[in-house]
Amino acid sequence: MADIAAERARIARELHDGIAQDLVAIGYALDSEIGRFDTNPSSRQALRSIREQITAVNATVRDEIFRLRSARSPSAQRNLEASLASLEINFLVNGELSDDQVGAELGKVLLELVRNALAHGGATSVAIDITSSFLHFENDGVNMAARSDSRFGLVGISERLAGIGWELTTTTGFNQIEIRRLP
């Protein structure tokens, strides 16, 4: 158990000293460009939008640092719903994630699917059905057929699911995805 705590602390330090600090530096650089007198209004607006996105990503990283350093993290369900709320997407979650490592991993998978739906499909709402052996994810974004190439998001999702004995079973497109526990 001490090894796990030490590894969590190491990862939290790496996130804080690396990614979080880099995001802050990028944010300050954007602030400088936004404040320049010769920045045209259209560019200023676009830069502010990018700045808001960086601030949101940094908040997510800091939340993860906090979770890694906390002796007891909030439930997987609360983590999922708080993360969905921070993404400013309409969402409906039916069912509950288990409050264990499986639930935590499934929550991370669902969050990745939501981020993909936002980024690649322009989704504005998602619906998630959760049972003890099945997840159904649906979104209203532009449907794109799932490719069999090595996209990092899908590879990461498949690896995360395999690690807990689950699999992605429906990948005909990104608007409706099913995930099942392996028998």
pLDDT for 137-182, tens place per residue?
Answer: 999 988 766 554 446 667 888 899 999 999 988 666 778 889 999 9
102/77 Cα distance (integer angstroms): 12
Length of the chain equals 183
Per-residue model confidence (pLDDT) at position 94: 95
Distance, in Å, from the CA atom of 123 to the CA atom of 135, rounded to the nearest integer, reads 19
Helix ranges (H only) for the chain are 2-14, 21-35, 41-69, 76-86, 101-121, 152-163
* Per-residue tokens: 82: 């708080």
Per residue in 100-113, pLDDT (tens digit) is 889 989 998 998 89
CATH number 3.20.20.70 is the correct assignment for the domain at 76-181: no
* In the predicted structure, residue 33 carries a pLDDT above the cut 80: yes
| pTM value > 0.75 | no
Q: Which residue has the tokens 């609360």?
A: 78
